[in-house]
Every structure is written in C-alpha cells, then in structure tokens.
Amino acid sequence: MVGVPLARRAKRRGRHTSRITSVLEYAALGWAVCPGAHPLRTGSRACSCDRLGCPDPGAHPQSPAWQMQATLDAAQLGRWWERDPEANVILPTGRVFDVFDAPLDAGLAALSRMDASGSGTGPVAANGDRVLFYVATRGNPDDEDEWWSCNLDCVPESVDDTPGLRWHCRDSYVLAPPSTLPTGQPVSWLRPPDGRPLPDPLRVLDWLADSFE
C-alpha cells in the first residue's frame, strides 16, 4: 500500500520538473511566460482560482495583471513554479507570435495537407478538442490605423462566442504544453518549436480556411 502514494508523488514530481523545464525553454526562445491556474481534480471543473463557478477552469492566468507579469526572467519563473509546481503555463500572444486556434478535425486536416505539400507548419499544439498553430505576429504597429483587425480576433472573454477558427493576437493568451486540462489530458506539441522563424499568418490561414469549406 505504501508504494501507491509514493508512485503518485514520483509521477507528480516528474510532471512538475517537466513543467518548469518547458517554461525555461519558452523563455530561452524569447516567449514571455506567466503562471496559470490549474484543475484541482481530474474529471471536474474545479479550478485552483478562488472564482466561484470558474468558466474556464485551469485555462487562465493566476493574476489579472498577467500582461505585466509575463516575463523572460528565469529566476522569477523558477520562483513562481517552485511556489506552485502545478501551475499551468500561460503564453501571451501578440508579442512574438499569434496563434490560430482551430477545432480538432479542421486543424488536423490542415496540418495533414501542409505536411503533404511540404509547407512548413511552424509550432503546432493539441489542446483538447482544439489545435493551435503558432505563427508570426502581426504585432502592434506604431500607426494604429494600419493595424489590421478582423472578426477572428479572440480575447479570452470571447472564446465561447467563436466556436470555429479563433485568432489569438494582442491582449490574448494561450495555454501551452505541458499544462493539464480538467480531463487530465495534457496540452501537447504536435510540432514543437525549434527556434526557426515562425510562418506567415496569412499562409497558414489559407490552409485553415480550406478546412472549413
């Protein structure tokens, strides 16, 4: 009987070591990171935050000041994950990268066609029933009138209103591997980042758009 709890603790230690390792790898890529809430129990919608009836358990930043909090500082990241080893991993978008967030079937279909054509996909992650394509950001140009907005823009509060394709750009964020979903399933890389330049968003959007036809 003693072996079961010990095995569980060893599994948790391994998961937490993997988490901070991934966090530091993101920072080394120049991707700012901040800690996220995490599910309290597998198969439930209980969240580590103190919000009653959290609408997005384990998939949001711990702090409302996440945009200012997100950092590349390895020492600070280490302190956060030492304090809360189960914290999920939040990556702000619209800084180094944007993210196309597609339903699973459409995302996998687009990924398959991109692979078959030899088109570089860039980093791609599986997040439950969604597939996330990391692309070069359109950023925040000096001339605000030139900033291209579209109805795919997604902020965290509007995800339920955009069940199809979502475009996470500035003022949004994504849950990154190896975060844990309420189902107990991890967010995972289908195509991990490798330091190469991120693909042009319009090129990836063309592939994704074909999957919705």
**How many angstroms separate the CA atoms of 201 and 35, rounded?**
27
Domain count, the chain: 1
**Distances in whole angstroms, Cα of residue 191 to Cα of each of 37, 49, 133, 207:** 25, 30, 9, 16
Determine the structural domain holding residue 100 and report its residue range: 19-141+148-210
List of residues 6+ apart from 144 with CB closer than 8 A: none
Question: Does residue 1 belong to any structural domain of this protein?
Answer: no
* Beta-sheet pairing, 166-168 with 153-154: parallel
Q: Nearest 10 degrees: CA dihedral of 13, 14, 19, 20? A: 70
β-strand partners of 84: none
- Exposure of 194 by Cβ count < 10 A (0-12 exposed, 13-18 middle, 19+ buried)? exposed
pLDDT tens-digit series, residues 2-57: 444 433 443 454 456 689 999 999 999 999 999 999 998 766 678 999 788 888 89
Confidence band for 144, pLDDT divided at 50, 70 and 90: very low
Q: What is the structure's pLDDT at 4?
A: 41
Question: Does residue 27 belong to any structural domain of this protein?
Answer: yes
- DSSP letter, residue 120: -
Question: Does residue 64 belong to any structural domain of this protein?
Answer: yes
Question: Does residue 2 belong to any structural domain of this protein?
Answer: no
Question: Does residue 95 belong to any structural domain of this protein?
Answer: yes
CA angle 173, 58, 156 (to 5 degrees): 30
Mean pLDDT score of the chain: 84
Question: Does residue 10 belong to any structural domain of this protein?
Answer: no
More confident call, 144 vs 185? 185
**How many angstroms separate the CA atoms of 169 and 211, rounded?**
21
Question: Does residue 12 belong to any structural domain of this protein?
Answer: no
Confidence band for 94, pLDDT divided at 50, 70 and 90: very high
The whole-model pTM stands at 0.84
Decide: 63 and 163 in contact? Cβ < 8 Å.
no
pLDDT at 194 > cutoff 90: yes
Of the ranges 26-30, 63-67, 117-121, 133-137, which one carries the lowest mean pLDDT score? Answer: 117-121
Question: Does residue 102 belong to any structural domain of this protein?
Answer: yes
